[in-house]
Amino acid sequence: MTFSKLKSEILALVSHERLSIDERLLNICELLEANIEHYNWVGFYFKNGDKNELKLGPYVGEPTDHTIIPFGKGICGQVAVSNENFVVPDVAAQDNYIACSITVKAEIVVPIFVNGENIGQIDIDSNTSNPFTEADERFLEFVCEEVAKLLS
């Protein structure tokens, strides 16, 4: 499924008001993981209250021990501090990488902003080396903008 087709699916999922927010976020994860071949783990992390840490939200893929990530630690923790997208073509080349699975080769993390504040992020792991393009980045920014509307 193309990114443009997936955008309409995302809009439909976000607007499905009979489902809880977590159910809608999980449906987004499932949609992305099922339709984009190089998305092997898809999940959301959110700021954990007033703490300088992220807490795992809905996700699909292999279970992870990383349910809490301190700001600055790993790719997700770095995005919580930098407020910028982070594309990692080769996780083995990253000093500050938290390994979730030995099969993961690449990662992309895009922040979610509500009223100018970074409140969370979408995190995607791939078992393929260097799979993420600028098109992935723009598409995930769209997803995060729609999720932000849901959370605001």
The whole-angstrom separation of Cα 114 and Cα 141 is 13
Which domains occur in the chain, in start order? 3-151 (3.30.450.40)
Mind listing the pLDDT tens digit for each residue in 63-97? Answer: 998 999 999 999 999 999 999 999 999 988 887 77
CA distance readout (Å), 45 to 4, 67, 138 = 25, 8, 19
Residue 113: the pLDDT is 98
Q: Which of 106, 115, 125, 118 is nearest to 149 (CA)?
A: 115
Global pTM value: 0.96
Name the residue with higher pLDDT: 15 or 102. 15
pLDDT surpasses 90 at 44: yes
What is the pLDDT averaged over residues 29-49? Answer: 97
Residue 95: the pLDDT is 75
pLDDT surpasses 80 at 55: yes
Q: Which of 148, 135, 150, 149 is nearest to 3 (CA)?
A: 135
Residue 63: the pLDDT is 92
Per-residue pLDDT band at 124 (split at 50, 70, 90): very high
**What is the residue-averaged pLDDT of the chain?**
95
* 38 and 104 Cβ atoms separated by less than 8 Å: no
Contacts of 91 (CB under 8 A, 6+ apart): 97, 99, 104, 105, 106, 107
Sign of CA dihedral 5, 80, 21, 60: positive
Mind listing the pLDDT tens digit for each residue in 13-35? Answer: 999 999 999 999 999 999 999 99
CA distance readout (Å), 126 to 38, 49, 149 = 5, 29, 27
Burial class (CB in 10 A: 0-12, 13-18, 19+), 134: exposed
